Structure formats: C-alpha cells, structure tokens
Amino acid sequence: MSQGVLRYLARSFVNGGNRDGGRYLLGTFEAEFGRWNGVSCGVIYARRMLSSSATEPAPIDKEKKGSAIAEEEEEKKKNGGGAVVPSSYWGISRPKITKEDGTEWPWNCFMPWETYRADLSIDLKKHHVPKTFADKFAYHTVKLLRVPTDIFFQRRYGCRAMMLETVAAVPGMVGGMLLHLRSLRKFEHSGGWIKALLEEAENERMHLMTMVELVKPKWYERLLVLTVQGVFFNAYFVLYLLSPKLAHRVVGYLEEEAIHSYTEYLKDLNSGAIENVPAPAIAIDYWRLPKDATLKDVITVIRADEAHHRDVNHFASDIHFQGRKLKDSPAPLGYH
Ligand SMILES: [Fe+2]
Ligand SMILES: [Fe+2]
C-alpha cells in the first residue's frame, strides 16, 4: 500500500472518519465491482486502487479500463460469444457451441463431437463358449453373481440398471489406468488400448447419468453402491494385475448378462409393465436420438453399447490367450 493511501486513511481516522471520502472509496469499489461482475475481478481492482498513489482514480485509468473491457468483449466475440468462466484470470473460456439446429449446446459434461448413433445392427446373441479353466471360472463366477442380483432387484429393471451401471463403469477405468501406468513404466505405446478402455468407462458412466434421470437412488441404495464400489474396485484392480486375460473375460461375460437384463427390460416396456416414458434430454443428445424418442429407444441403444463392450473385452482376453500383447493389436477405438 502506498504512502498516499496510508496518509489518506490516517487523516480520515484522525478526523473522526471522513465519511464522504470513505463512501467515495467504497462507492468506486462497488461501481467497479458491479461492472466487472466477479469477486476476483473486484478484489483485483480494489487492490489496484489501494496500490495507486492517489485516492481519486485518474481519468486515464478509466480510459484504460474501458479499453480493457472493450478488448474482453472483442475476445468474447472472437470466441463465438461464449460465457467467460467466473475467473477470467487464467484466460479460460468455453467458446459458444451450438447444436445442428442452431440452439445452444446445453451440456458441459460431453460435447457434440463425443455423441454418436448406436450401431443397432450388432449381433446381440454372440457368446463366447467357455473352453479353458479360466473361461469356465469367469463364466460361472458371473452366473453366481447374478443370483443375489436377481433376488434383490427381481423385475425392477430401472433400479437394477442404475445400480449395475455404477459397477459396469469401473473395469474400463481400472484397466485403462493400469495400462497407462504400464506405458509409463515400460516407455512403450499402448496400441490405443488405454483410450479404448477409458472410452468404455465413460460410455458406461453416461449410461448411469441417463438412468439416474429416470430412477432416483434411495439412501440405502447409495450406501450399497459405496460398499460394492469399495469391494469391486479393489478386487478388479488385483485381478487385472494378476491376470488381465481373466479380468477381460469376466467383463465379457458381465456384458453378456447386461444384454440379457436390458432385453428383459425391453420385454416389460413392450408389455406395458413398465411405462414407456419420454427419453431424458441427456440421452437424446448423447445418442443423437429423435426429439420424440422414448425410454424404449434409450434401452435399445444402451443394449447395443453393452454388446460392443462384450466384443471388446472378449477380444482383449483372446489376445492375451493367444500369448500376444494388447499393445501389438490395434485397439477398437470409437467402437460403439
Ligand atoms: Fe452399461
Ligand atoms: Fe457395458
């Protein structure tokens, strides 16, 4: 703080507080604070004021600020008029993104270039026949896990899907993370598998974000997710370290079960046992569905995604089974 300001404050204090001067200082701060419309900007400007040698801002400062605002507005226009994030200090702003129909893109969690139309022509009946001991172990483990799931959820498929998606999004993240660390340790490429597995995890998470629009989790379901995540994340992490071949095979069979569950869900939607409500907005944008899409359309595209995950994971397990490395076999990137 400069000597000028200190002198001013001391004089105000000795005079019993020069209210006019104080109000002026505060008034100027408020005016600037309002204009910049941001706490950090307001504070930055207040500091600038206090570090200047005069209590009254020089006209030249106002001109400078005016031109800075004009420059900022110009920059906004260049970036497509997008909203500037609360603190512009770091120069971060999101350009304005529009949909094909010209309306503003409403999501921050995914962008238009990450959306896709699901390939519904995929064979839903494809199955990997377990041959080796590891395959049979994976197959029967998954079948065994299905028993308590069937008992707990029965035909409450909305709730079942929501809860199972919290688990389904874990393997891709664990596998992707471990391959990422391996790539760093070994100074080698991953063949695209890091990205492919992380894409799968993100896709599964979008299934969850969609389901949660339709079914609101109860407190005990949230508690169950916490417990299951704690157990499953660690179990899958250790399994992937010990045998990625077995880990991918387990996920392949889990995906086969997911296809079965979503097929049952569709049966209940067709019979009217579950109401075929309009599709959530997030699903319409993510899978580029028509505006009048329904829950049936959403479940159909999610089921197609699960079939793709099934293929990717059985394929990865086969690569290991043949004694080859994932990095030597190009990953199915963008495989939906
Ligand atoms: Fe899923
Ligand atoms: Fe899946």
What sign results for the dihedral spanned by CA atoms 53, 54, 59, 63?
positive
Q: What is the mean pLDDT of residues 109-129?
A: 96
Q: What are the pLDDT digits (tens) for 231-277?
A: 999 999 999 999 999 999 999 999 999 999 999 999 999 999 999 99
Q: Which ligand is nearest to the CA of 306?
A: 2
pTM of the model: 0.74
Q: What is the mean pLDDT of residues 289-312?
A: 97
The two tokens of residue 21 are 């001067």
Q: What is the mean pLDDT of residues 106-133?
A: 95
How far, in Å, from the CA of 165 to the mean position of ligand 2?
8
How far, in Å, from the CA of 124 to the mean position of ligand 1?
14
Tell me the C-alpha distance between 17 and 13, whole Å.
Answer: 5
User: What string of DSSP letters covers 227-243?
Assistant: HHHHHHHHHHHHHHHH-
Q: How confident is the model at residue 336 (pLDDT cuts 50, 70, 90)?
A: confident
pLDDT reading at 56 higher than 70 = no
How far, in Å, from the CA of 11 to the mean position of ligand 1?
70
Residue 308 has a pLDDT of 97
Q: Which ligand is nearest to the CA of 163?
A: 1
Residue ranges near ligand 1 (ion) with Cβ within 5 Å: 165, 168, 204, 207
Tell me the C-alpha distance between 315 and 319, whole Å.
Answer: 6
Q: What are the pLDDT digits (tens) for 29-45?
A: 333 333 333 333 333 33
The answer to whether the CB of 259 falls within 8 A of the CB of 292 is: no
Residue 62 has a pLDDT of 46
How far, in Å, from the CA of 308 to the mean position of ligand 1?
10
pLDDT reading at 87 higher than 60 = yes
